[in-house]
Amino acid sequence: MSYWKNQRVWVTGGTGFLGSVITKKLRERGCQEILATGIEHGDLVDPAVIHRHFEFRPNLVIHLAANVGGIGANRERPAEFFYQNLMMGVQLIHESWKAGVKKFVAIGTICAYPKFTPVPFKEEELWNGYPEETNAPYGLAKKMLLVQSQAYRQQYGWNSIYLLPVNLFGPGDNFNPASSHVIPALIKKFVEAKKSETDHVIAWGDGSPTREFLYVDDAAEGILLAAEHYDKPEPVNLGSGMEISIKDLTTTIARHVGFSGEIRWDTTQPNGQPRRRLDISRAEKEFGFRAKMGFEEGLKRMVELYRNEHEKNRL
C-alpha cells in the first residue's frame, strides 16, 4: 500500500475493459494520483496528445492502449493494427524515457508468439518463428515494444518491463461483432439465437484450435504485482494455465446460455493459431502471481451479466 501511495500513475487505455479494472485496483491500493485515458482523450499515435498527457507528470506508466480485434478484424485491417499499435507504443516509450518516468509497464500480446510454438509457450520461444498469419501485423507491432524496452534498458539503464497476457475475458468485454474476440462473440450469438428461437448458430473454423483464457480481474492483479515487484528485461507470461478447444468452449457457452439448437461450423473461415497455452511459472516465481478465478465460474458470470444487460436494452 505504501508503494502505491507515492505513485503518480498514467494508465493508457485506462477507461477500457482491462484499464477500468486496473484503475479500480489502484485506488483500492491507496494510489491517489491516477490519470486514466482512452481514445476519447486523444489518439496516442499523435505526439501532441502524448505531450499533453505528460503535463500530469507520471512516474509510472502502464501502457494498455491498443487497437485490437478478433480474427475478422485482423484480416480486414492489418495495416491499421500494425501502424497504430507500433506508433503509439514506440512514441510513448521514448517520450516516457525523455520525461524521466521511473518505470514503464508495456503490455504485449500472446499473438506475438510463433504460430507453432511448443506448448506450453515459454518466454524463451518468443523469437523462434513467425506469428500466425491472421494476426501477425498486430503481434509484431506489439513485440517491437519488447525490443525497445530492452534496448532502452541496455543503453540508458531505464526500467521498462514487458508482460504477455493471454486472451482476457470477463464483465465489460467488447461485444461488438465487428471487433470482439471469441468469448463475447459467441455469447452474443447464442443469447440472440435463443431469444429469436433460431435453430442453429454458425461458428468459425472447425473447432479444433485450443485457447487459454484469463479473467480480467486476475490480469489486472498480475499487471499491478509486476509493476510493483518486477524489474528485469525478460518478458513474462500472464495466464491461467488452462487450455480448452474452441469446440468445447462453444458448447460450454451454449449450455450456460441455455441454447439447445445446432452448432454449425463454417470451415471456410480461418482457425487461427492451432494451440495456445502459456507456461506461467515465471510470473509466479518473480512476483507471486497465480490466477484465482476458475474458468467456468468466470464464464458463468459473464453470460449472466450480458443476458441481464441484453434484457434491459430490450425494455
Mean pLDDT score, 214-227: 98
Fill in the amino acid letter for 132. Answer: E
Answer whether the bond into residue 120 is a cis peptide, omega within 30°.
Answer: yes
H or E stretch at 299? helix 295-314
108-134: pLDDT as tens digits: 999 999 999 999 999 999 999 999 998
pTM for the structure as a whole? 0.93
> In which band, very low, low, confident or very high, does the pLDDT at 71 lie, cut at 50, 70 and 90?
confident
Whether domain 2-169+213-241+276-292 has CATH 1.20.210.10: the reply is: no
Residue 171: is its pLDDT beyond 90?
no
The pLDDT value recorded for residue 163 is 98
Of 3, 130, 138, 156, the active-site residue reads: 138
Of 4-8, 164-168, 176-180, the one with minimum mean pLDDT is: 176-180
Classify residue 118 by its DSSP letter.
P
Cα distances (Å, whole numbers) of residue 307 to 58, 100, 188, 229, 257? 39, 46, 9, 38, 8
156 counts as catalytic: no
Residue 314: which pLDDT band, with cuts at 50, 70 and 90?
low
Q: Is residue 282 within 8 Å of 226, Cβ to Cβ?
A: no
| C-alpha span between 108 and 153 (Å, rounded) | 17
Cell numbers standing for residue 160: 521498462
Location of C-alpha cell 434491459:
312
Q: What does the alpha-carbon distance between residue 239 and residue 272 come to, in Å, rounded to a whole number?
A: 19
For residue 315, what pLDDT is reported? 46
Which residues make Cβ contacts (< 8 Å) with residue 65, sequence separation at least 6?
Answer: 12, 13, 16, 19, 37, 38, 39, 44, 88
Residue 17 has pLDDT above 90, yes or no: yes
Task: Please report the pLDDT score of residue 310 as a whole number.
Answer: 67
